[in-house]
Structure 1
Amino acid sequence: MLQALMNLLSLCWKPPEGGDIGGGGDFAKDGLLWSRDIGRCASGEFSMAVVQANQVLEDQSQIESGTFGTFVGVYDGHGGPEAARFVCDHLFRHFQAISAEDLGVVTAETIERAFLETERGFTYHVSQLWNTRPNLATVGSCCLVGVICQQTLFVANLGDSRVVLGKKVGNTGGVAAIQLSTEHNANIEEVRHELKELHPNDPQIVVLKYGVWRVKGIIQVSRSIGDVYMKHAQFNREPINVKFRLSEPMDMPILSATPSIISHPLQPNDSFLIFASDGLWEHLSNEKAVDIVQSNPHAGSAKRLVKAALQEAARKREMRYSDLRKIDKKRHRARSSTLPPKRFGTPVIAKPNHQIRASSNFLRFPKIILPPRVVPDCIAREQHQQQIRPAALVMTLEFILPKEA
């Protein structure tokens, strides 16, 4: 009986069978951008944009919704795509199962357990393939998750991705940008202090190399899924690349997979959220990104965010946005006609068209997962020569809450 109840509760995080996948499903192409300006679902609207970038897509994202709420994940991979793909395939499943065990109640502990189960699963995956694919030990992923349930937003983060809330300011028409997530990057002084406290006998726990602080001189983030070579001594040895091997014994994990988690009761003046990997915030401030979403029509919001990041990246490299589009024409000639695009940034804007109440269904549209894409080597080489890197993997979620009585 209990198992049957758990199965029923688990289904409440799934979209309804035959749910509307939304209008406007075809992607439009505009230079570097592939976009879907607007799509419709049972509870609102969303949009997304994709820009071709790296040879192998290391990042993943997903939206999952059902009767109980909405789950948003942004997974910024590094060292390869495997960890981000693993997280995309397993994290929500663990969250779904654990919340069902708790009779549908979502807490910070629910989310943390899902993260740690995913970490254990990936570590086991690496151990099983150690003899044939030892490089998996050096692959990892930042992980940013938002869960909206019962008018409460939970944000969980590993690494240096970020979620920013756009909050309406009184009756002024303005919107304030409020960062909700905690980042784990060695370039942040508080993170370096935390690492030094955890490893007081290691003077090389953080090292400044070429103006960038790195954990053990290797990696910038201090928390992630994967990167097991920095967590378990049995994986920090041959045959992994020598640049990942530590010169001294590892007596405790250096990186952590325990997320920072906050809860935020949603208020009537909370307007929208922007979830993004560090690349977007490298090119756009919190305030600028919020202003772009707030100051423009709903349709095409995702595309505008990505274009703004592209334009800023081009400006920093003393290029014009039109130069980026010229590069894209060369890519098109090199790419197979059946090869889908990769992303520079992938915003998804969801805009509910009804008020969200504790008893209502939240966003209910079929799961959206951005799959990996591969482009020819010649494209990757040309991009490297032009010093173009992906700006971000981005999602923005816009909601309407009931007004105060």
Structure 2
Amino acid sequence: MLEALMSLLSSCWNPLGSDNAAGDGGGGRLGSLGREGKDGLLWFRDLGRCATGDFSMAVVQANQVLEDQSQIESGGFGTFVGIYDGHGGPDAARYVCDHLFRHFQALSAETQGVVTCDTIQRAYQETEEGFTALVSELWSTRPSIASSGSCCLVGVIYQRTLFVANLGDSRVVLGKKVGNTDGIAAIQLSAEHNANIESVRQELKELHPNDPQIVILRHGVWRVKGLIQVSRSIGDVYLKHARFNMEPLNPKFRLPQPLNMPILTANPAIISHPIHPNDSFLIFASDGLWEHLTNEKAVEIVNSHPRAGSAKRLIKAALQEAARKREMRYSDLRKIDKKVRRHFHDDITVIILFLNHDLISRGSVLDSPISIRSALEH
């Protein structure tokens, strides 16, 4: 009810939902949630405004139950963006969406609102510990939750610094203006943790020198212990704690050898990036997008079209490419229902932040904090 009321209020302040409502020189203090819409399995929100600029948000469902979750939180500290790509069911991604930002808020309050890499690191750790406790609580009645996990990509803009923290293979790409030209460069800011990347396989082998089966190639895909592609996540506690790798867990997840040390980790790769005047926008997306679009293509699409509808436009481009790969028409792909759709593409989540350097440099404060979460089911 509250979100619907805020959405109505924001539409009154921004009736056109256009670029003009939040141009680079805009000085309005009221945040806008943007308009929510739905097109089949595609949910979107355009064009909102947060403490650091405009945003566009969209997700398309492919699984029977949506496993992607995402959120935008914005207030006095700046802006927090989260992309949570779940696997083994939606439990871990939903838990992260419910708890990670709350931990971040509480930890930031301990340092009078100052955000550091340590703040974000500790928020991840507390979220992991909380989910592990939930699995322990449900172990006897819902053992399958032990095999639920989530990639976790977070971006925090605090003052004039962007912090990026990542577990798994979601990705954030910066669109950066090239000098005084019309050109724009695509710069990947996140490090990924997928066993198909040679450096990740090497890291796993160094961490587990006595395990020749730490990574296994099956059907052209490298997997950790032959089970999972990502090497870092929230959840997946069956690969972190021996007590969850036994009955009553499904036998297909049980390892033949005792689990003497965690195979996966919840320790994120974190970088800080000083925001430069030429930094134009940020594309946060789950790997379902990057499976079909290169960094350069995604940045080109965003840069060459109006801001409104940007996230939805990227998802459509990815679906068109997915259809082309299967030698079918995009219009036919759109008719395929969830679950069956998963054979053609993954759940895809995209959040685009257009950086307003005037707002960032002034440290503008929203009259009302913004809190948006993508729909649980579409």
Residue matched to 1:48: 57
Instruction: Determine whether 1:246 maps to 2:255.
Output: yes
Structure 2 matches for 1:258-277, cutoff 5 A? 258-277=267-286
Instruction: Determine whether 1:356 maps to 2:359.
Output: yes
How big is each residue's C-alpha offset from its partner over 1:42-96, in whole Å with a ceiling of 9 and x where there is no partner? 7643333343422101110000011111100000000000000000010001111
Q: 1:346 to 1:195 in 2, by over 3 A?
A: closer
1:68 counterpart (74, 77, 84) = 77
Residue matched to 1:287: 296
Residue matched to 1:4: none
Aligned counterparts of 2:275 and 2:256: Cα–Cα separation in 1? 48
Q: 1:153 to 1:202 in 2, by over 3 A?
A: same
SS in 2 for 1:367: strand
Instruction: Determine whether 1:22 maps to 2:28.
Output: no
Q: C-alpha root-mean-square deviation of aligned residues, in Å? A: 2.4
Q: Is the 8 A contact 2:232 2:268 kept in 1?
A: yes
Aligned counterparts of 1:144 and 1:362: Cα–Cα separation in 2? 25
Instruction: Determine whether 1:151 maps to 2:160.
Output: yes
Amino acid at match of 1:255: L
How big is each residue's C-alpha offset from its partner over 1:171-223, in whole Å with a ceiling of 9 and x where there is no partner? 11111000110000011111111111111011111111111111111110000
Aligned counterparts of 1:156 and 1:165: Cα–Cα separation in 2? 14
1:320 counterpart (298, 323, 329) = 329
Q: 1:21 to 1:210 in 2, by over 3 A?
A: farther
Amino acid at match of 2:376: P
Residue matched to 1:345: 348
Residue matched to 2:132: 123
Residue matched to 1:367: 371
Amino acid at match of 1:22: S
Amino acid at match of 2:149: G
Q: 1:357 to 1:20 in 2, by over 3 A?
A: farther
Q: 1:93 to 1:34 in 2, by over 3 A?
A: closer
Q: 1:218 to 1:346 in 2, by over 3 A?
A: closer
1:77 counterpart (78, 81, 86) = 86
Q: 1:119 to 1:50 in 2, by over 3 A?
A: closer
2:171 counterpart (162, 170, 190) = 162
1:307 counterpart (316, 323, 328) = 316
SS in 1 for 2:271: strand
Amino acid at match of 2:363: S
The count of residues paired between Structure 1 and Structure 2 equals 346
Q: 1:184 to 1:319 in 2, by over 3 A?
A: same
**Normalising by the residue count of structure 1, what TM-score does the alignment of the two structures yield?**
0.80
1:194 counterpart (203, 207, 219) = 203
Residue matched to 1:337: none
Segments of 5+ residues of structure 1 without an aligned counterpart are 1-14, 332-342, 375-405
How big is each residue's C-alpha offset from its partner over 1:324-380, in whole Å with a ceiling of 9 and x where there is no partner? 23436xx8xxxxxxxxxxx94343444466613444126775201013217xxxxxx
Segments of 5+ residues of structure 2 without an aligned counterpart are 12-16, 18-33, 339-345
Aligned counterparts of 1:353 and 1:322: Cα–Cα separation in 2? 36
Residue matched to 1:204: 213
How big is each residue's C-alpha offset from its partner over 1:258-315, in whole Å with a ceiling of 9 and x where there is no partner? 0000000000000011111111100000000000100111111112101100100000
Q: 1:150 to 1:313 in 2, by over 3 A?
A: same
Q: Is the 8 A contact 1:59 1:75 kept in 2?
A: yes
Q: 1:93 to 1:21 in 2, by over 3 A?
A: farther
Structure 2 matches for 1:168-179, cutoff 5 A? 168-179=177-188
